[in-house]
Amino acid sequence: MNSNYVPACAVWELTLACNLGCLHCGSTAGGRRAAELSPAEALALCDDLKSAGCRGVALMGGEPLLRPDFFAIASRVRELGMELSVITNGTIHSEEIFAGLRELRPRAVAVSLDAADPALHDRIRGMRGAFEKASGFIARCLSEGLPVSVITTVHKLNIKELPALRGLLKGRGIAWQVQTAGGEGGRFSREFLLDKEEFYAVGLFVEACRREFTPEELPVIGAHDLGYHSGLLKNVALYEKWEGCQAGISVAGIRSDGGVMGCLAMNDENYVEGNVRVSSFREIWNRPGGFAYSRGFKKEDAGPNCAGCPELETCRGGCSEMSLMKTGRLHNDPYCFRSIEEYLPELKPAGWRGALNGLAGPEVFRRLGRFFSGGRGGEQAK
Ligand code: SF4
Ligand code: SF4
């Protein structure tokens, strides 16, 4: 029996093994999980995903290229007609890898780049020379004609790098996804998480880039969970409209030990819905009552941050991961743009609102530009 939900995209952690030790890594990757799926199990899972109606698969890690059967799995995904994205730290290079990627005709090869300053990127990523390697990986992918994107994960250590990264990426045909760090990882001190103003400033930065550059010059998006229902900003994500957390609705996360979740970012055993070693992905996805926190949402489930919000019915209380991380419960995201705009006094004056709506940019970005350019208390223009 099929549920009414189609898994448009499965985000699959192929392995938790990683050659880096990134500070903000939400899954504290490094070593493999004890019971990683075998090559045969991984290939069977590809078939299983297809039979569940999955349209696209994003292979990530850890570092997915460390899995010796990476290309066998990725090829199977493509042979089955599913779209393929690969998310890599860009530090593992070989002729075989670039030739293999070219052959796969992926929808995207996404490389993590957290700073334009090589030393800072290396510090965040936990490897000397990581910046140089990732930059070389990006350049080689571009020369191979691969669709390259860069993912930047923002926290207090690198928020000021955004303008320099913009300079590094613009005009090169690189899609740029800006996302914010969560606090689940064991190497990341929560003191580095963005506060509400900084989080909003990242949204403003994305908006500013979109106003300044055409999509051809700099295709930039915020991650799908970067703020929503703003009264001032367009949706900074790829989609026109935020339709609530898609965990278990149109998105699935699969751990390298076969655990199936709505979203890997939630990184909590309580949200593992089953394991493909016990039941097929298709059965888990279609199980009546599955993914209850998403599919079975009722207005009464909302926490105090969201109760009474006019957007609640479709929003369902924002990003589940952010809500859990910040408040310890679901449907209670304190970081949506709608509620931040209520909270930030400097967004209240009509003049401010008018300036933004009128695309007058400079004044707006001068005010919040301090987040990118220097001291939080100063008024330095960007
Ligand atoms: S207050 Fe909650 S329900 Fe309303 S828009 Fe924000 S996250 Fe969504
Ligand atoms: S938990 Fe957050 S990151 Fe995950 S699917 Fe939901 S909105 Fe997206």
Which of the ligands is closest to the CA of residue 261?
A: 2
* Residue range 89-126, pLDDT digits in tens: 999 999 999 999 999 999 999 999 999 999 999 999 99
Q: Which residue type does 378 have? A: G
pLDDT of residue 368: 42
In the prediction, which pLDDT does 348 show?
A: 55
More confident residue, 65 or 233: 65
Is residue 55 scored above 60 in pLDDT? yes
Quick check: 51 pLDDT over 90?
yes
pLDDT (average), residues 312-336: 94
User: Residue 183 — very low, low, confident or very high, per pLDDT cuts 50/70/90?
Assistant: confident
DSSP 51-62: HTT--EEEEESS
Give, using CA atoms, the residue closest to atom 2 of ligand 2. 319
**Closest C-alpha among 380, 368, 360, 11 to residue 194:** 368
Nearest CA to ligand 1 atom 1: 306
Helix (H, G, I), strand (E, B) or coil at 219: coil
Strand ranges for the chain from DSSP E: 9-13, 56-60, 83-88, 108-112, 148-154, 175-180, 220-222, 251-254, 259-261, 272-275
What order do you get walking across the sheet with 272-275 strand by strand?
A: 220-222, 175-180, 148-154, 108-112, 83-88, 56-60, 9-13, 251-254, 259-261, 272-275
Which of 98, 105, 107 has its CA nearest to residue 144? 98
Name which of 154-168, 200-214, 248-262 the model is least confident about. Answer: 200-214
Across all residues in the chain, what is the average pLDDT?
87
8 C-alpha to ligand 1 centroid (Å): 24
Q: Span 221-249, mean pLDDT?
A: 82
Pick the range with the lowest mean pLDDT from 8-12, 139-143, 245-249, 339-343. 339-343
pLDDT of residue 143: 96
User: What pLDDT does 346 receive?
Assistant: 63
Q: Which of 225, 236, 324 to probe ligand 2 with, by most ligand atoms within 8 A of CB?
A: 225
Checking if the pLDDT of 229 tops 90, the result is no
pLDDT at position 2 is 65
The structure tokens 């300036």 sit at 355
Residues with CB under 6 A from ligand 1: 229, 305-306, 309, 311-312, 315, 317-318, 333, 336, 338-339
Which pLDDT score is estimated for 382?
A: 24
Ligand with an atom nearest the CA of residue 26 = 2
- Token duo for residue 82: 């599913």
252-292 pLDDT per residue, tens: 999 999 999 999 999 889 999 999 999 999 999 999 999 99
Atom 4, ligand 2: which residue's CA is nearest? 263
Q: What percent of the chain has pLDDT over 70?
A: 88
Q: What is the pLDDT of residue 107?
A: 93
Nearest CA to ligand 2 atom 5: 247
pTM, 2 dp: 0.89
**Better pLDDT: 148 or 344:** 148
Return the amino acid letter for 316: R
